[in-house]
Amino acid sequence: MNSLLHDGVGRSIDYLRLSVTDRCDFRCVYCMAEDMSFLPRQQVLTLEELERIARIFVAQGVRKIRLTGGEPLVRPGVVGLCERIAALPGLRELVMTTNGSQLGKLAQPLADAGVKRLNISLDSLQAERFAAITRSGRLGQVLAGIDAAREAGFERLKLNVVVMHGRNADEVPALVDFALGRGLDISFIEEMPLGQVGRERGESYCSSEWVRQRIAEHYSLIDSAEHSGGPARYVRVQGHAHSRIGFISPHSHNFCATCNRVRVTVEGRLLLCLGHENAIDLCSLLRRYPLADQPVLDAIHQALQHKPLRHEFTVGDVQVLRFMNATGG
């Protein structure tokens, strides 16, 4: 079944990013302010509402759902939610983005529940630097989580790295070595200007081209046309058949023309574009019509006609006031 969801310029929407919590056990410098306040429980979608959202979108032809946060694995009941969503008829794959802190105990249950792939954030291989970037994370715990995920039987694992001058840009070759040595994919991400995080983002901006040049000093890179259904552009590395290196470039090579996704935040707001504040409130409709999906579906179709053609990110400026943890990864 092809997707029944199309925006006003004809793009087909077959990918939903669904946030299950705004809470996180880290406070990464590019994601949120150090002193964060989180949503009260009554404003957060219940597990049943999250499952209902997933079911509505899958029935309309969405084939990929990514669960995000915050940190999705701090949400109680998330493994059972994964199992129910993964079983929805027509869904091709359920995937998740995580900081890896809880994978030591949850990697195997997630794989058993039907999660196909994991993206795991890893911004440094130096313990002190990792703690400074995450403000609270322990590198050893995340590395142990990555090992647990490798043993659990996921189809693919990918490391996500937000590259920042003055923080971790000098570690690009070491992070590539780490991924290739374990048969993992790795993606390098240009920092996105979401929320006031207490510093000027332009000072630390690293373009994907700069990152690629650093990698090419150490490895022979082969351009690849493959994609994973998201915004990453991939290259292969000669002699490492099991790994891919991806570049997610919202500034230098935006991916808007082929955008196939929308986001639903944990408070039930349908975000049509990462780079715009425009959203519609699905939570109110879910609760007003607990037994009827059509009003929710009508609102989704109507909203998609207003999905922006592209974002308007510029280096260093904050165009969107919400933080990444409130956006949904």
Which parts are annotated binding residues for [4Fe-4S] cluster? 24, 28, 31, 256, 259, 273
Extract the tokens encoding 265.
Answer: 């935040």
The CA distance from 295 to 302, in Å, is 11
Enter the DSSP assignment of 167: T
Among left, alpha and beta (phi > 0; psi -120 to 50; other), residue 105 is: alpha
Give me the residue label for tokens 């150490």: 218
Binding residues for GTP: 17, 66, 97, 158, 261-263
Annotated binding site: 17, 24, 28, 30-31, 66, 70, 97, 121, 158, 192, 256, 259, 261-263, 273
Q: Which amino acid is at 295?
A: P
Q: How far apart, in Å, are the Cα atoms of 109 and each of 47, 78, 79, 115?
A: 18, 10, 7, 9
Closest CA to 21 of 50, 48, 53: 50
Annotated binding-site positions for S-adenosyl-L-methionine? 30, 70, 121, 192
Omega before residue 70 within 30° of 0, cis = yes
